[in-house]
Amino acid sequence: MREFRTEHDSMGSVEVPADRLWGAQTERSRRNFPIGVGIETMPDEIIHAFGLVKKAAALTNRTLQPQKITEEKCACLCAAADEVISGKLSEHFPLVVWQTGSGTQTNMNANEVIANRGNQLAGKKLLHPNDDVNCAQSSNDTFPTAMHVAAVLALEKQLLPALEEMIAELQRLEAENSDTIKCGRTHLQDAVPLRFSQEISGWRTGFEQDRRMLLAALPPLRELALGGTAVGTGLNAPAGFDLLVAEKLSELTGSSFKTAQNKFHALTSLDELVFAHGALKALAADLMKLANDVRMLASGPRCGLGEITIPANEPGSSIMPGKVNPTQCEQATMVAVQVMANDTAVGLAASQGNFQLNVFLPVCADNFLRSVRLLSDSLQAFRQNCVCGIQANRTKMQENLQRSLMLVTALNPHIGYENAAKVAKLAYEENLTLRQACLQLGFLTGEQFDAVFHPEAMV
């Protein structure tokens, strides 16, 4: 039978599982919000960020308020926070996203776990969740701060590296196909030719633009609400707390953070996350474009375009033997759809800042971090299991190129647009080559046609 211990908060006593480090307020939230339990818990990135925030605050308070946060308290608090940061205490963070919109219970979950673990390390009742771990802080400034820290670290450590690797792979593929000419397509119809490397360069440049937009989104995310406390006035925080705690967070993370100039804005607005997620949405759109192009170019193998081949990673059908499907393209397009849906949630959440606080913080954080995680994983899988193995079917590309009626565009300067259109229509209707149709209509002699018709010069 599971054992319990009694914990207290301002509302009274509550029974908490004896083997868990959380306290009364976490337990109340766990009971009051049984929504998505085990599925939609607070993202690990937020818990990691809270460990960093609490450690930075302890170090700052040790400097600014040594009478409150003694050397012993600071040491135990930091040691416990380090265990939160490392993920060692993850099982002690059970709360779901669907809780108080300010994230108060998750802040208190961190306070209680760190206090209780710190007390275990001290071997005595040394730390109080509110008075010590939450010293000079409020849920209203710690949760927005944790969101920004988590967002910056996720972009820097997860998504941008995955994006860089995809760009590098496309650069390799581009160089490999610099001499390959193929039929272009607009409106899903045949168009004038281009090099396959030029087509790939369009994919690559899209991702390079996405990288630039993500980098542009980082500076606003580096501004932190910490130090604004309850409503932005900084009540109960010592002078200079906001500046020093941002410095401490920068030291702890190896990234760059600074205090927000206007804490009233920092507590109630999520526009920085909206802007950054817009860049995520743009990346999702480019990922959708690449995946759709790849699967259509690889369609077949006999009854489709068949201009490229992609790796055969697994059987594609439970009934059709030998069928291979573009499964990596499908995962990428599904991820893109989900990120676009997440963008709607982030935008709606950001629109709900009322008076001195936005109370849609957990859902905004969850959707943002989910998008980063999905895009990072999707880019890695798509690159490793599909893009790396793309091979140009040069024979098929040449065959399609020679059959394209839009090569007739090369004749425009010599016989005029209307006559060139007549050549294309006759060639289509009577299944002729462009040369045969042009000669039949008497627009050019064979020698004249051969002198001006060079598809390779059209790229």
Domain residue ranges of the chain, discontinuous segments joined by +? 4-135, 147-222+262-395, 404-458
Residue 43: DSSP 8-state: P
Say which of 187, 250, 256, 351 is annotated catalytic.
187
Look up 197 and say whether it is catalytic. Answer: no
- Please report which helix (H) or strand (E) contains residue 430, including its range: none
CA-based nearest residue to 257, from 148, 155, 361: 148
Q: Are strands 189-195 and 181-186 parallel, antiparallel or unpaired?
A: antiparallel
pTM of the complete model: 0.94
Predicted pLDDT at 151? 98
Q: Is domain 4-135 classified as CATH 2.60.40.10?
A: no
Give backbone dihedrals phi and psi of 216, rounded to 5 degrees, phi first.
-70, -25
Q: Which two tokens stand for residue 116?
A: 């209780």
Residues in the chain: 459
Number of C-beta neighbours around residue 307 at 10 A: 25
User: Is residue 55 within 8 Å of 39, Cβ to Cβ?
Assistant: no
How far, in Å, CA of 135 to CA of 245, rounded?
A: 12
Residue 96: DSSP 8-state: B
Predicted pLDDT at 66? 98
Q: Is domain 147-222+262-395 classified as CATH 1.10.150.20?
A: no
Residue 223: DSSP 8-state: E
Residue 124: DSSP 8-state: S
Look up 187 and say whether it is catalytic. Answer: yes
How far, in Å, CA of 376 to CA of 383, rounded?
A: 11
How far, in Å, CA of 269 to CA of 262, rounded?
A: 11
Q: Are strands 181-186 and 12-17 parallel, antiparallel or unpaired?
A: unpaired
The segments of the chain whose pLDDT lies below 70 read none
CA distance between the termini of the chain: 76
Say which of 13, 317, 351, 454 is annotated catalytic.
317
CATH of domain 404-458: 1.10.40.30
Task: Locate all alpha helices (DSSP H) within 131-240, ordered by sequence.
Answer: 139-154, 160-176, 196-221
- CA 41, 42, 46: angle at the middle one, nearest 5? 155
Which residue type occupies 402?
Answer: Q
